[in-house]
Structure 1
């Protein structure tokens, strides 16, 4: 999933070379993904030793989860 974000971020940098820092909304990333006509992700399954293809919606779901976790810091555990 980091690779997919990296591709989008590289594109943003090419389109905006004067900016030192870029931010984007997840909806913008998803719009970029929607422009790609054939997008899937092969995920290795160690128990069966085969790669399983997953579609664009699965990729979006995994990206959403990953980016949400990055955006919100983990809760601190306090021991009493």
Structure 2
């Protein structure tokens, strides 16, 4: 998909953990979610030389956050459509299944 996407993340109740990421495509946003998880894995296990994980690990990573949403630009309505973590998880599964 080639629609502008904004990823909004908040790790916990602390507002200082809020982050946003801006992407030209939804696919880029899905790739960044995986990259963020990989960064977390490396931070937690600095001796790892090879990363191995599956989509269920990514889903658990998303669920561990207070907020995990995307805003996807809809050209028809000329507005951003919000999508929750359930939608993101389904989109991740489709993205990495292709």
TM-score (norm 1): 0.79
Match of 1:22 among 29, 36, 51: 51
Q: Which has the higher contact order (CA 8 A, sep 6+)?
A: 2
Q: Return the index of the structure with the highest Cα Rg.
A: 1
Aligned 1:1-80 pairs, distance under 5 A: 1-69=30-98
TM-score (norm 2): 0.66
- Give 1 or 2: higher strand fraction: 2
Off by >3 Å, runs of 4+ in structure 1: none
- Give 1 or 2: higher helix fraction: 1
Deviation at 1:16, TM superposition (A): 1.5
How many residues are aligned here?
A: 69
Deviation at 1:17, TM superposition (A): 1.4
Deviation at 1:27, TM superposition (A): 1.2
**Partner of 2:80: helix, strand, or coil?**
strand
Can you give the 5+ residue segments of structure 1 that lack an aligned partner in the other structure?
A: 70-80
**Partner of 1:2: helix, strand, or coil?**
helix
Can you give the 5+ residue segments of structure 2 that lack an aligned partner in the other structure?
A: 1-29
Deviation at 1:49, TM superposition (A): 1.4
- Give RMSD over aligned pairs: 1.0
